[in-house]
Amino acid sequence: MDKKSNERWACKYTKVKAVVVEVDELIFRITNDHNIQKTKKGPLSPTSATARADAGKLDDSTDEDLLKLAKNEIIRALNLEEYEIKDTIIYDLLENGRQSLSKYQEDLLPDIYAAATKEKNGRLMKSLKNYLEQQWKVKYGSSNQWFIKFLDEYKNTVNYNSVLNRTAEYGTKYLKDCPILSIVLRLLFEGIDDKCLNERNAFDDLWYTITNSGLKSIENFSNYMNENVMLELKNTKQSVLTQALREYYRPKLFELLKKSQIPNNDNLYDLALNNVTEYGWLQGLEAVQNKIIPKYFKLLLANIPQGKHDLLECLVYLFL
């Protein structure tokens, strides 16, 4: 498309906000407009999202439209538009990252396969990273505006690009069972680089510790985090890490309380969540013990997810 001639034509019409011919720019503009409309709690206007690129025309964009547009760019990067196997390959790429492409060498043109697997910032990697950024905001950030703000603040840091590259390369390998917490941890603990991940299992240790012992346990990993960031996390009541931990603990804790026949009297569930987020399972639940009938509290302790370091302490409680 001749962008300049279309811009000259479009300048006569106030409703035309921009002429876009690159997919990345199109997605960027749509995402921004979509987020603004979400903040205003209004629908995305048909005219604000209207644009044209080699991918075609998109009106009245939704979250799914954004992800579909980004996924189509991955398909085009591999020249798979006309092949049925494209869905299998794309699914594998999004689950297991670029490394999974080695299984499909016979299904791709040789020059495209070579470029896709060897180029550090080639078309495929750019497309994968673009999809991941949209997915993070749409899937995990749509109900957590603090998370979108956090991503925007970290977007221009070296570690942000490292985490994005690592996810594009290995897929969901490091996302665990709570992607939003995993992403926050990987961005905050910038000292846990590829070497630490592959040789020392540092991230697994961090994950195990913080999902069992809560926010207070991050001091054990202070050597992996910037000192100023650590101080800010300690001194901020509703830090991003606190909110991410709440996302991890909330469904598990609430299900556990219900399973243990403990009613949500006097806002007990939220009180328990605050304490478990801060101090972990055992110490956090101990803080609300006097608000729970003893036999149900023992049932609660018997059902909590146990780490190997906490098992003995839990058994002591049960036999008191």
Range of weakest confidence among 3-17, 30-44, 197-211: 30-44
| Within-domain flag for 305 | yes
Amino acid 35: pLDDT: 47
| Within-domain flag for 63 | no
**pLDDT, tens digit, for every residue of 76-119?**
999 999 999 999 999 999 999 999 999 999 999 999 999 999 99
| Within-domain flag for 292 | yes
Q: How much is the mean pLDDT over the chain?
A: 82
| Within-domain flag for 70 | no
| Within-domain flag for 245 | yes
DSSP string, 134-159: HHIIIIITTT-HHHHHHHHHHTTSHH
Q: Measuring CA to CA, which residue among 172, 156, 178, 159 is closest to residue 244?
A: 178
Q: What is the total count of domains within the chain?
A: 1
Confidence of residue 309 (pLDDT cuts 50, 70, 90): very low
> Higher model confidence: residue 207 or residue 234?
207
> Higher model confidence: residue 279 or residue 235?
279
Helices and strands (DSSP H and E) totals, the chain: 17, 2
| Within-domain flag for 301 | yes
- C-alpha to C-alpha distance for 135 and 129, rounded to whole angstroms: 10
| Within-domain flag for 213 | no
| Within-domain flag for 71 | no
Amino acid 227: pLDDT: 87
**Does pTM surpass 0.85?**
no
Residue 69 φ/ψ region, left for φ over 0, alpha for ψ in the -120 to 50 degree band, beta for the rest: alpha
**pLDDT, tens digit, for every residue of 18-75?**
666 555 556 545 655 554 454 444 444 333 333 333 333 344 457 788 889 999 999 9
How would you write 201-248 as a 3-class SS string?
A: CHHHHHHHHHHHHCHHHHHHHHHHCCHHHHHHHHHCCCCHHHHHHHHH
Q: What is the mean pLDDT of residues 304-314?
A: 52
Q: What is the mean pLDDT of residues 116-126?
A: 93
Quote the domain boundaries for residue 256: 241-318
Report whether 226 contacts 260 (CB < 8 A): no
How many residues are given for the chain?
320
The share of the chain scoring above pLDDT 90, in percent, equals: 58
**pLDDT, tens digit, for every residue of 128-150?**
999 999 999 998 888 899 999 99
